[in-house]
Copies of this chain bind each other. A is one copy, B any other.
Amino acid sequence: MIAQLGPESAKPSGPVDRMNAMIDGIPPMHRMGLRIVALSEEHVIGAAPLAGNHNHIGTMYAGTQFGVAEVVGGALWLPNFDTDRVYPVVKDLQIRYIRPATSDIRAEASIGTATVQRMKREVVATGKSDFVIDSVLTDVAGVVVATAVGTYQIRSR
């Protein structure tokens, strides 16, 4: 029996699908092939493919690594906040390249529940709240290729 896939079943529902739909709405992120592969209230994993993202020495372009580092930090907003009420922006990001990335990469980041509680109080009181996220980028062998630290802000719509 062939499954009947109507508009409802095609609609993104979970946080991973919702975040990937957001990525696909931002053309340069979509073109780099950035993906969120896991997303909970406390933890996120993103991915970037080497294919289509080579630089002048055949390794992964610095900007694609920036892209996956940046998006995992911002993504932690989604499962923690009412996305109809607040949206995230990045204020500052520093990325340190440690080894050339010669494969697909993953980026992982976490946020603590105390941080989210602080942010919820601040956004109610002032309409915005900053948060700082460290992310670690690894290749398919698990070797760290880069680390990043980003300062983000959620703002009331």
Q: Which residues from 81 to 100 on chain A have a C-beta closer than 8 Å to any C-beta of chain B?
A: 87, 89-97
Task: Provide the residues of chain B in CB contact with A26, threshold 8 Å.
Answer: 54-56, 61
Is A53's CB within 8 Å of the partner chain B? Answer: yes
Q: Are A95 and B92 in contact (CB under 8 A)?
A: yes
Report the nearest B residue to A88, measured CB to CB: B56
Report the nearest B residue to A95, measured CB to CB: B93
Q: Are A89 and B57 in contact (CB under 8 A)?
A: yes
Q: Which of A28-36, A115-123, A135-143 contacts B (4 or more CB under 8 A)?
A: A28-36
Q: Which residues from 120 to 154 on chain A have a C-beta closer than 8 Å to any C-beta of chain B?
A: none
Chain A: number of interface residues, binned into ranges: 20 to 34
Is A6's CB within 8 Å of the partner chain B? Answer: no
Q: Are A31 and B29 in contact (CB under 8 A)?
A: no
Q: Are B93 and A62 in contact (CB under 8 A)?
A: yes
Report the nearest B residue to A147, measured CB to CB: B92
Is A108's CB within 8 Å of the partner chain B? Answer: no
A28 to chain B, nearest CB (A): 5
Report the nearest B residue to A25, measured CB to CB: B56
Which residues of A line the B interface, CB within 8 A? 22, 25-29, 31-32, 52-57, 61-64, 66-67, 70, 87, 89-97
